[in-house]
Amino acid sequence: MSLSGYVVRRLLQAVPVALGVTILVFLLIHLVPGDPARTILGNQATAPRVALLRHEWGLDRPLPVQYEKFMGRLVHGDLGSSLFYGVNAGHLVLQRLPVTLWLIGLGALFSLLLAVPLAVIAATHRDRLADHVVRVVPLVGLGFPAFWLGIMLLLVFGLNLGRLFPVGGYGEGFFGHLHSMLLPALTVALGISPILVRSLRAGLLEVLESDYVTTARSKGLSERRVLVRHALRNAAVSTVSVLGVNIGFLVGGTLIVERVYALPGVGLLMINSIFERDFPVVQAVTLVFSLLVVLVYLLTDIAHALLDPRVRFE
């Protein structure tokens, strides 16, 4: 199967998953104890107002009809109105999406920039001091919770070391965003990279002992060339999956990092909306997050197929 065929097949497979997500998000409102309309409108709402919302949202109709209505609104980009701000919930989420995408993208990039060299050092110095250091030290990043790590980074780089970075916020313009995002992305990367290092190191060790690497070495290729051209690409296959899973997890994990760094992203919107009982926004964020995870897994599979053509024929 060609790569394009594989991509189309994976895209088609993602459709039922996405539909499943919409069903779950739709049902979310019914999981809240009591009347959803009463929950949405709050304690002060009058009975006629509650009845009106029940009718508007089709809550007085059978579930399949309600779902059809929900999907009808969804395809028109209508995710309901924020109860707190009175604006379109979908618009509120989309407005904040770039911040979260910045964080996830830069965080993933940083984690690779940290993980690849460290894994290479560890694999090429197996069981020596450098290997032990690389295997142990990054675990510190994994062990500390993101909110603590974030505060420490802010204290050191935002306050004490000449105020190199802003203490929270998103900044203005591309370079402003980049400047503001460095510490949050580093916080994300420090959490993910230890897992990547271990995965990539294990993959490299396995590959470096394989026959084709021995052949490459016997042909007289330099160790650097063997590593870059032959070992890394094959060792990266499993690491891409690990990275994909972690980025998928990170989509939900941005909540804490965005809160600590006061980043106006979707994660912070989620936390605040939960506290404010802004149900339509919680629903919209859940939907966007879920679809993002589906997208990340799709991209992971495609990357996997690019690195390992055997995947396309399975």
Partner 1 sequence: MHSRRRAIAFLVTAAAVAATGTVAALAAGTGHSSSAATPKRGGHITIARIEDSISFDKTNVFQNESIWIAEQINEPLYLAGNDGKTLRPWLATGYTASKDGKTYTFKLRPGVKFSNGKAMTSADVKFSIEDAQAQKKGWGYLDAAIKSIDAPNPSTVVFHLKFQWAPFLADIGLFANGIIPKDFAGQSRTAFYKHPIGTGPFMWDKRVVGQSVTLKRNPFYWQKGKPYLDSVTWTYVTDENTRELQLRGGQIQIDEFPPFNSITKLQNTGGVTMSLFPSTRTDYLDINESYPPLADVHVRRAISYAIDRKAIIKSVLFGHGQPANSFLPPQVPFYDASTPGLQYDIAKAKAELAKSKFKKGFKVTLLVGAGAQVDNATGQVLQASLKQIGIDVTFKTEDTSTAFQSIQTRKYQLAFSYWTMDIADPDELVTFSVDPAGGASSFYTGYNNPTVISLSHQAQRQSDPEKRAQLYSKIQKLAAQDAFQGFLYYSPYRWAYTSKLHGFLVQPLGNYHLEDAWLG
If binding is defined by CB under 8 A, does position 155 make contact with partner 1?
yes
| Terminal-to-terminal C-alpha distance of the chain | 9
Comparing CB distances to partner 1, the nearer of 140 and 152 is 152
Judged by CB under 8 A, the residue of 28, 51, 67, 85 near partner 1 is 85
If binding is defined by CB under 8 A, does position 70 make contact with partner 1?
no
If binding is defined by CB under 8 A, does position 177 make contact with partner 1?
no
Contact between 187 and 194 (Cβ < 8 Å)? no
Give the closest residue to 261 by CA, choosing from 189, 208, 185: 185
CA dist., res. 148 & res. 81, Å (int): 35
- Sorted by sequence, the CB contacts under 8 Å of residue 144 that are 6+ apart come out as 152
Q: Which stretch binds partner 1 (CB under 8 A): 52-60, 128-136, 152-160, 189-197?
A: 152-160
The pattern of x and - marking residues 235 through 274 that bind partner 1 according to CB under 8 A reads ------------------------xxxx-x---xx-xx--
Comparing CB distances to partner 1, the nearer of 165 and 297 is 165
Judged by CB under 8 A, the residue of 5, 20, 42, 143 near partner 1 is 42
If binding is defined by CB under 8 A, does position 168 make contact with partner 1?
yes
Comparing CB distances to partner 1, the nearer of 104 and 154 is 154
Judged by CB under 8 A, the residue of 62, 86, 173, 220 near partner 1 is 86
Comparing CB distances to partner 1, the nearer of 95 and 238 is 95
Read off φ and ψ for residue 175, nearest 5 degrees: -70, -30
The CB-of-100 to partner 1 minimum distance in angstroms stands at 13
C-alpha gyration radius of the chain? 24
Q: Tokens 């916020």 correspond to what residue? A: 169
Judged by CB under 8 A, the residue of 14, 53, 74, 158 near partner 1 is 158
Judged by CB under 8 A, the residue of 109, 139, 159, 228 near partner 1 is 159
Give the closest residue to 227 by CA, choosing from 145, 117, 86: 117
Q: Tokens 């990340």 correspond to what residue? A: 296
If binding is defined by CB under 8 A, does position 47 make contact with partner 1?
no
Give the closest residue to 101 by CA, choosing from 34, 177, 35: 177
Instruction: Give the SS3 label for residue 171.
Output: coil
CB atoms within 10 A of CB 143: 11
CB atoms within 10 A of CB 173: 8
What one-letter code names the amino acid at 71? Answer: M
The CB-of-92 to partner 1 minimum distance in angstroms stands at 6
Contacts with partner 1, residue ranges (CB under 8 A): 42-44, 84-87, 92, 95-96, 147, 151, 154-155, 158-159, 163, 166-169, 259-262, 264, 268-269, 271-272, 275, 277
